[in-house]
């Protein structure tokens, strides 16, 4: 999980002071990280009845 957290860039004071913007484009650009996130979603929601 720490590996994935490091892939999410934090931009302070964007778009205005006091906001911490979490930029996930760096995570999406890394195939290994993106695949790991998809696997985590599947694991978390596999028992749910999602349409």
What's the pLDDT at 1?
87
pLDDT digits (tens, 9 = 90+) for 1-50: 899 999 999 999 999 999 999 999 999 999 999 999 999 999 999 999 98
Q: How far apart are CA 42 and CA 5, in angstroms?
A: 18
Six token digits for residue 31: 């195939």
Q: Would you kindly state where each structural domain of the chain is located, as residue ranges?
A: 2-45
What's the pLDDT at 50?
85
What's the pLDDT at 48?
94
3-class DSSP assignment, residue 12: strand
- Measured between its terminal Cα atoms, the distance across the chain in Å is 28
What's the pLDDT at 51?
81
The residue to which tokens 């484009």 are assigned: 25
Q: Are 33 and 27 in contact (CB under 8 A)?
A: yes
Q: How far apart are CA 4 and CA 6, in angstroms?
A: 5
């Amino acid at each position: 999980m720490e590996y994935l957290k490091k892939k999410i860039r934090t931009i302070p004071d964007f778009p205005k002071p006091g906001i911490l913007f979490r930029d996930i484009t760096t995570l999406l650009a890394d195939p290994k990280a993106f695949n790991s996130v998809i696997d985590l979603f599947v694991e978390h929601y596999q028992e749910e009845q999602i349409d």
